[in-house]
């Protein structure tokens, strides 16, 4: 978990291609590759949502919150980040029981949706004293009998509070505490064995992969040694936050899995907030496309406001639509809950246990199914492997581009409508449903539909802060 982010506005980002050795534990996603991050959802609700919407919309995987036993912090209102304050490897958390987790995995697999677990393996609890965890296990800051970990299994680097003080010091990054979490000595073989045992337990329940939290604070060689202990291949993607001039960089982790690139999210948000959408013409980031997981926002950036969030309304929807239409990275869509303070957890009962999610109740946002986001998952699938063609822009915030002969997207980020315009596309002639605003039902579109003529021209007016998305999987009757 990371709470401090620094982004620079970059108007043109180029991709640096790096050759890395094949990683046995990194599954290559095929076909349906969009990930839904169901942040703060309990296991029952994720299982239901896999069958009700995620599978039907075409999502390939779901990322859960951490399932391991964690601290309980009622004095702080059971904040969302207590789930990242690990106490043991028991699968009993605010989100449900071991049996409920296993049932969720089965439900998602029945819907063709993989399950990726947010794995907290760099550190244990962030509380300095002692307490009782979510499964009833007693613990202290350097004593976790259920793992078991004792004082010798942790780093003590000698800085005040054993804290990372200088991110330019490689030894501090790997051997001091980040965010007060007791820093596990991942270079020790017995520690590696215990971490791998936790991950293998999850694999035994059918889990398909892991998002490695705070991977930046774990040496790549240690991660490789842990992955070599896994009992079967799993898709691995790692949180490695870029910092200019810092001692540890995201590129170092390409051999141990995919990397979540915060440069993409930060730059994309800055462009949609303060820049010009025309700058997106060559948009990418610094990591190889097939080795990075990209997103508009995640749980950290949403809570600290460093990227676009659901509160940005149409801009947020348009940014997600762009991400799903653009050929870079593996997209991840955040689906969470409304909040008014940084620490606020997902809707919970008086004991801090997350309640079942109900879309549209004013609390659960369900962005994964929003018009303009959910339907763009099918657009993303339809255009996979197709090049960007027919780019046009007005030099400011009206852009349009195609993906081969299979898709075409217009985004109008201006504060006024774009009227009386014709757009050249490579789509076959026909009538198409605008999937940003409707779906195809019984051969007709529930929203607006547009005609592509025999020359590939599209005549359309586009409202302010809106767009049009057409693809060959959403053709409707004349």
Only one residue has tokens 């949403």, namely 302
Only one residue has tokens 């926002």, namely 297
- The first and second tokens of residue 61, run together, are 């995987």
Only one residue has tokens 């919150």, namely 65
The values of phi and psi at residue 440, to 5°, are -85, 125
- Contact criterion met (CB below 8 Å) for 421 and 448: no
Query: Can you list the alpha helix ranges (DSSP code H) found in 205-304?
Result: 220-227, 262-274, 299-304
- Among residues 68, 100, 162, 213, which one is catalytic? 213
- Contact criterion met (CB below 8 Å) for 443 and 477: yes
Active site residue 213: yes
Beta bridge partners of 63: 37, 116
CB contact burial 40-63 (16+ within 10 A = b; e otherwise): bbbbbbbbbbbeebbbebbbbbbb
Beta bridge partners of 236: 210
| Coil/strand/helix, residue 231 | coil
Enter the DSSP assignment of 193. H
- Among residues 239, 261, 300, 302, which one is catalytic? 239
| Coil/strand/helix, residue 83 | helix
Enter the DSSP assignment of 54. I
Distance, C-alpha 283 to centroid of its chain: 19
Cα angle 435, 440, 443 (rounded to 5 degrees) comes to: 145
Task: Return the number of other C-beta atoms located less than 10 Å from residue 194's C-beta.
Answer: 19
Rounding to the nearest 10 degrees, give the CA dihedral for residues 167, 173, 176, 182. 110
- Contact criterion met (CB below 8 Å) for 14 and 282: yes
Alpha-carbon distance 217 to 250, whole Å? 11
Upstream peptide bond of 238 is cis (omega within 30 degrees of 0): no
- The first and second tokens of residue 334, run together, are 């955040």
Q: Is the dihedral of CA 334, 338, 339, 345 positive or negative?
A: negative
* DSSP-assigned states of every residue in 95-163: TB-HHHHHHHHHHHHHTT-EEEEEE--SB----SSEEE-TTS-EEETTBBTTTTB-GGGB---SSGGGB
Enter the DSSP assignment of 216. G
Alpha-carbon distance 441 to 428, whole Å? 21
Only one residue has tokens 């949502």, namely 49
Q: Which residues are catalytic?
A: 213, 239
């Amino acid at each position: 978990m990371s709470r401090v982010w620094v982004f620079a506005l970059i108007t043109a980002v180029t991709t640096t291609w790096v050759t890395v050795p094949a990683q046995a534990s990194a599954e290559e996603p095929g076909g349906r590759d969009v990930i839904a991050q169901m942040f703060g959802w309990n296991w029952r609700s994720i299982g239901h949502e896999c069958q009700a919407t995620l599978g039907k919309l075409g999502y390939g995987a779901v990322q859960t919150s951490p399932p391991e036993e964690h601290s309980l912090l009622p004095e702080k209102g059971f904040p969302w980040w207590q789930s990242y304050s690990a106490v043991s490897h028991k699968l009993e958390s605010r989100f449900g029981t071991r049996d409920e987790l296993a049932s969720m995995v089965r439900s998602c697999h029945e819907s063709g949706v993989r399950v990726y677990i947010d794995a907290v393996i760099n550190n244990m609890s962030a509380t300095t004293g002692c307490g009782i965890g979510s499964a009833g296990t007693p613990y202290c800051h350097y004593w976790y009998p259920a793992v078991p970990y004792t004082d010798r299994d942790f780093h003590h680097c000698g800085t005040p509070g054993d804290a990372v003080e200088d991110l330019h010091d490689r030894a501090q990054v790997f051997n001091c505490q980040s965010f007060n979490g007791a820093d596990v000595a991942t270079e020790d073989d017995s520690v590696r064995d215990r971490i791998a045992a936790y991950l293998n337990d999850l694999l035994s329940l059918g889990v398909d992969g892991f998002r490695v939290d705070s991977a930046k604070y774990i040496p790549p060689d240690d991660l490789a040694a842990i992955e070599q202990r896994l009992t079967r291949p799993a898709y691995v993607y790692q949180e490695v936050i870029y910092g200019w001039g810092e001692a540890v960089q995201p590129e170092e982790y390409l051999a141990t899995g995919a990397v979540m690139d915060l440069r993409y999210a930060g730059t994309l948000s800055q462009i949609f907030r303060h820049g010009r959408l025309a700058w997106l013409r060559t948009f990418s980031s610094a990591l190889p496309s097939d080795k990075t997981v990209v997103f508009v926002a995640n749980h950290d950036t949403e809570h600290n406001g460093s990227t676009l969030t659901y509160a940005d309304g149409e801009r947020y929807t348009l940014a997600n639509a762009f991400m799903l239409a653009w050929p870079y990275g593996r997209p991840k869509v955040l689906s969470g809950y409304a909040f008014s303070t940084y620490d606020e957890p997902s809707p919970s009962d008086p004991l801090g246990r997350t309640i079942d999610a109900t879309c549209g109740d004013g609390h659960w946002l369900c962005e994964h199914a929003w018009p303009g986001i959910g339907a763009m998952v099918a657009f993303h699938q339809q255009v996979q492997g197709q090049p960007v063609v027919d780019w046009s822009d007005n030099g400011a915030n009206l852009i349009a581009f195609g993906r081969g002969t299979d898709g075409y997207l217009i985004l109008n980020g201006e504060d006024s409508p774009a009227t009386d315009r014709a757009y050249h596309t490579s789509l076959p002639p026909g009538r198409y449903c605008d999937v940003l605003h409707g779906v195809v039902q019984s051969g007709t579109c529930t929203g607006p539909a547009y005609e592509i003529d025999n020359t590939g021209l599209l005549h359309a007016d586009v409202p302010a802060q809106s767009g049009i998305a057409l693809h060959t999987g959403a053709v409707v009757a004349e």
